[in-house]
Structure 1
Amino acid sequence: MGKIMRDRRHKNSVSVFSVAVPALLLFAIGGVLSAKVGLLDDLDASVDTRVEAPVTVTIEPRRMEYRAEGHFIKNGFAVDAPLVDATLSKPFRIMKYQVSRTDYQRCVEAGACEKGEPAASLGNDTPMTGVNYTDASNYAAWLTEKTGEVWRLPTDRQWAFAAGRKFPDDALGIDGSKDNPALRWLADYERESTRQKSKNPMPQASGTFGENEFGVADLDGNVWEWTQTCHRRVTVGENGEVLKEAPACGIYVVDGKHRASMSFFIRDPKSGGCAVGVPPDNLGFRLVRDDRWYAKMLYAFERRFPGAV
C-alpha cells in the first residue's frame, strides 16, 4: 500500500511538473522577448497621472449557482439553460459604476474612441450609451495606457459573480421538448411582451438604480453592459449532456435586467442585431481590472501582435 501511495504521489508530482515547467519557461521566454522588443515600453510611456483610475469594488471568492449563457436546444425545441455551480477562486475588481459620458468623452478627445450614437438631453453623469463592442474595447485599451493598469470587459461569468442576487434567472420552467411546445411559446411571448413595456428607457444618472450586496451600482437599470463572452447555440441530450456547441464570436453576451446577445457592431440595440429575445434599452459597459501577474505582458503582446493570442 505504501508503495502504491508513493507511486501515486510521484505520478501526480510528475504531472504537475510537466505542466508547470513548460508554462514557466514560456513566460520566462516571453519576459525576455518583452525586454528585447520593448513590449512594455509603450505602456509605461503612455501613463498619464491626470487620468484617475475608476472607483472599483472587490468581488471576493465564493460559490454561486446561475444559469449558463447561450441558447439551448433539445430535440429541436428551446429549453431553459442549465444551472451552473461555479466557484470564484480568486478575487477580482470591477468598476462600481458604468463608464460615464464624461469619462468616455476624454477618450474621444484623445482620438482613441469613436463618438458613439448621439444622445440628446443627457447629463455628463449618466452612463455612456450608444456604444458597440469595439467602442468599449477601445476605451478599455485607452484606460489601460493612461493608468498603467490593465482593464478589460468582464466575462459573463465575472458579471454574474459581481451581480450576485441581482443576476437575472431567465428560466421559464417549461420544457418545450416534453411539454406542449405551444405552452413554452406562449410563456416566452408573454415575458417578452412585458419586457417591451419599459417605463422609461432613457439612461438615468449613475447610482439611480441603487447598489447590490457588494456595492456594485445600477446592475438592474436600463443600461445593458457588454461582456467579452461569445454567444453560443448548444444542443443537449435527454439528460442534459452537451451534444453540440456552436459559438458565434462576433455576437457577444450583454448583461442587464435580462441577458441578451448583440452583434459586435451594434450601437443602438433597437436597430436590430439582437440574436435572441427582446433587445436591451441601451448599450453601455463597465470594466474589470486584470490583476494577473502577467497581465501587462499579455496586454502589450496583444497590442503589438493582434490576433496572435
Structure 2
Amino acid sequence: MLCDIIDAIFQSSRLGDLSEAEMKAIQKTQCEKLDTLYQMFQFLSDYALIGIDEYGDQGAAVIRIFRGIQPQTLEVTLADGTEQRPYEAGLYLLSLKDREQVLPLWPLCCRRPVTPNTLLGWRKREGEHLIYAPFIEGGTVKVSWEEIVRIPEAQSLALLSDESWRMLVKRLVPLDKREKDLVPGYELHGGPFYIGAVTDIYLAVAQTESRASQEGRSPDYAVHILRDLDDEILNEHIRRRFAELAENWLKLSHECILPIRTRNCAPQCEQPYLAVEYLGAHTSLQQIQQDRGVLPHKLIVEVMQRAAEVCREAHRNQLCILSLPLRHILLGRDDTLFFTGFDTLWREDTPLPAHDLLCQLCNNDRGQFAPELQNGEVAVEIPADIYALGILLRQLLAGQSKSPLHRSLHDLAWSGDPWDGILFHCLVHDPNMRFRSIDHFDEFFTQNCLQPHDPIPETVVLDNGLCISKYPVMNREYHFFCQQEKAGRCMPFGAHHKEQERFHGPFLPVVGVSLVDASDYCAWLSQKTGRRWRLPSEREWLTAAGGNNAISLEERYPWGSGTGQQYANYDYYYSGPTVVGSFSAGRVPAGCCDMGGNVWEWCIDRLPDTPRRMLKGGSYRSVAADLQLAARRGVVVAYRANDTGFRVVCE
C-alpha cells in the first residue's frame, strides 16, 4: 500500500499543461496522500502487529512480529504472576512507546491462520481507520483509530517479562549508525534476526571493500554479539563463558560443523563477538519444517546420523552438547547439513552453575536439557547428550501421522514402533535407562530405524558353529510375541503398571518370565521363522561367554579378569536393568553382550542332583561373585523375578 501511494504522488507530479484549478486539486490530493503516508510511517514506528503462535512450558510463548511482508519469530517469557495469558492464535497491536497500550484484535481475528502475506493497511474514509481484511471472513472489519488509546479492555504489555519486552523492542527498533559499526570489520544489516538470553545474532557484510561497493550486497556473515548486563558479577561469568564457548567450538573438527571465521572473545575486550558464514534465509531446519510441515524421512535419518557424529566429535575433545535445537541445524547448498550455535557445549565432568546463572548462560535452551541438569549444580555426563539427541528426534518427527510430541513415555515404551523405542531410551528421565554412549545409540538407531524388521533376536555365530542371540531377549521382542499370541499370555513385567516404570523400555531385557514362558517364546519363534529356537545348555552358554577356555583361572569373568562398573550392571549400581549392550568393555570376544550382570539367564540344564533349573550370569542385584563364569543359581521351573530373563539359541 505504501508503494501505491508513493507511485500515485509521483504520477500526479508529472502532469503538465493543467489549469490553475486542476493544479490546486492535484496539490490538495498530494497533500492528503503525503499526510496519509506520514501517518503510516509514524504508525509503523510506534506500533507492531504481534501474533501469538503457541505456548510452551514454564510460561514460554512463541510470537510472530509483523512489520513488513515476512514475519519474524521470537520466543518470549510471560512475567511471573501473570494470571490471564494472551489468547493463543490471537493478534495484538503493541505500542512501542507506552507499555500500557495494547489493542487486542481477538476475537475479530479469532483462530485464523497467520500467514507471511498478512499486512496491516490504512483506508481514508470518514476519518482514519485501520483495516484488517486478511484476517476476517466475509468482508472487511474496521477499527476506529481512537480506540487504540481508549479501548477499555486493553491488556497490559506487562504480560511479557521485562527481558522479553526488551528483546521485542530491540527486534523492532532500527539500528543507529553506531550500532551498525559495532563490530570492527563488519557492517551490520538491520536489527538482530535472533535474540537470545545474552547474545544477539546480526547479519553482516565484511568491510573489506569500499562502502559504495557494499551497497545492495547480500549479507555474508552471521555475527554473534554478546550483550553487557547490568549485574557486574553475572556479566563477568557471561563473558568468561562466551570465551570458553568459542574455544570449545574451535576444537570441533568435522565437515558438518560451521566454522568460526573471526572472533574476539577475550573477557576484557570492549565488544565480544564471533562470526560464522551466513548460508541464507530459510536454511534452518526449524524454518524448513514450518514451511513444509513434515520433513522427509531421508532427511530425518541424515540429521540424526550427523548429529551423532557431531556429539562423538565433542566427546573426543571431552565435551558434551546439552541441546541440539532445530534452529542450530542448517541446510546449505547441495543440501549439505551444518551444525552451529553451540551455546550449550560443556566440558564433561564439569559442574553446571546454579539455576539462575544457567538460564542466562545457555541462551533459553535450558528447557531442552536432560531433567537431571535443569536445576544446575551437577556434573555433566554422557547420558545428557543422549537426551539432547532424543529432543532433536522428537522435533524432527513433529507433523508425522504418529507424532511423539504429545505422547507419554509409557506409550512410547510399548507401541512396538522402533522410532518410539529410540525416543524412549533417549528421553526417559532416569539416565540409567538411556543409551550409555553415542556408539550405543548409533548401533540401535541403525539396526532399528534404517533396517526396520520384525523384532526377532539378533544372533552371532561362534567358532563351533553355535548360533546364539547377541543380547538377552528384549521387552520389544517378547512384547511382539505376547501381542501375536494374545489370550492367556504373560506380558513383560510391568507392561501395564506405571508404578513399575523402572522395567519399562523396549530395549531393556525382558524380566519376570518363568522357564515355561521362555520355552513358549522359543516354540512361537520357531513356528514364525521356520527355524528351531531353544534355550541354551550351560556348556553352550559358557562357550558363548568365554570361548573354548570358558572356566580358566585367568579369565574368571566373561570379559576377563578384574571387576568394575564399566564392565557390567551389577551390585545395584544402576538401580535396575539397563539397555542391552550398554557396556562395550564387557562384550565377550564372540560378540555377545551382557553375559555378566543385568539379568540372570535361564539355561535348560538342572543343577546336579536336584530338580532345580539353572540360572547363569548374575544380575543388576548380584554381587561380583555371581558374575563369575563358574557361578550358578538353582530355582524352580515356575520361578519369576524382576531380575531374571533369558537368551536363545538358533539351530
TM-score under structure 2 normalisation? 0.23
Larger radius of gyration: 2
Q: Which has the higher contact order (CA 8 A, sep 6+)?
A: 1
TM-score under structure 1 normalisation? 0.48
